[in-house]
Amino acid sequence: MSIEYTTPILNKIKEYDKIIIFRHERPDGDCTGATKGLKRILNLSFPGKDIRVINPGKSDYLAFLGEDDGEVDESQYRESLGIALDTATTKRIANKGYDRVRELIKIDHHIPVDDYGTLRWVEEERSSCCEMIVKFYDNHKDELKIDLEAAKYLYTGMVTDSGRFRFRSVSGETLRLAGLLLDVGVDTDTLYANLYMRDFDSFRFESYNGGSSFSQNPFHLSFTFNETVKYKLNKSRIRKTTTIYITSCQCSLGKIASTDNIVRLQLPTTNFSKPTTYTFREGRTTS
């Protein structure tokens, strides 16, 4: 089914000596795994090509996957094929150099917003973009090569974007393609150890009891300057600790559910580096 999309993409890749791979801003496991996994597959399969993953920004919890590649000069952008992964709109592409490449391919599993790119492969039903990259490999495995490093990147994205294979987007094919990666030898123990690894400061922050620093309406949790220092609050810490638990809260809880005396709030991705007051809204807990 997807071969009608993946064949032209493979042919386009063959046409180019230089390829730059893009992802979305504020990287997660899927876009990081997909960019690095695709690069690794293409490096193994086409050793003569210059393939780079170039994007600003990083997420600390994905440090175990390694850094992106360094920047290249303008002329390389203009000679390159660009491949943007896991990104519905051009606005969200982290590296704005995407509009300077010679041609751009879009591979994504989000609801299509921008129809960017000269070639597009968008399947909303897919549980992750990494699943699509594994499908790309599987469709053309007579010509493409995979190894443990590529499998590790791609399995990471499949696991994280599917909520550890819990979400409804997980299909039989998702698990068959994940199985393909396990057959390559992915060590799930090490992977999960990395994904669940947290530093001591994030535990300290999570144990923080908001208590009297909550106001009622709108729902506020304020951090003083001392607290921002104590809990080392910054964007990366907040993103890592997306759920905080506050017990024995004295304020009116309004519509916020607290059946088990634990209030669950999803933190907004606001800049926490300045000590000020932040408004919280009710959100689902995240794993």
* Binding residues vs Mn ion (CB under 5 A): 30, 86, 129, 161
Nearer to Mn ion, 129 or 246 (CB): 129
Distances (CA, A) of 216 to 15, 212, 213, 276, 281: 61, 10, 10, 17, 12
Three-point CA angle 247, 249, 252, nearest 5°: 140
Residue closest to Mn ion, measured at CB:
30
Please name the residues in contact with 255: beta carbons below 8 A apart, sequence gap of 6 or more. 282
Nearer to Mn ion, 18 or 23 (CB): 23
Nearer to Mn ion, 28 or 68 (CB): 28
Least distance CB 30 / Mn ion (angstroms):
3
CB 204 within 8 A of CB 188: no
CA distance linking residue 174 with residue 38, whole number of Å:
17
Least distance CB 40 / Mn ion (angstroms):
18
CB-facing half-sphere around the CA of 8: CA atoms within 13 A: 12
Least distance CB 26 / Mn ion (angstroms):
12
Range list of H helices, the chain: 3-15, 29-45, 74-79, 129-139, 148-161, 172-184, 188-196, 200-206, 225-230, 235-240
What tokens does 24 get?
A: 């979305």
129, exposed or middle or buried, with CB in 10 Å at 0-12, 13-18, 19+?
buried
Nearer to Mn ion, 62 or 249 (CB): 62
Least distance CB 62 / Mn ion (angstroms):
13
Nearer to Mn ion, 68 or 161 (CB): 161
Nearer to Mn ion, 127 or 241 (CB): 127
Residue found by looking up tokens 């620093």 in the block: 213
Least distance CB 134 / Mn ion (angstroms):
13
Least distance CB 129 / Mn ion (angstroms):
5
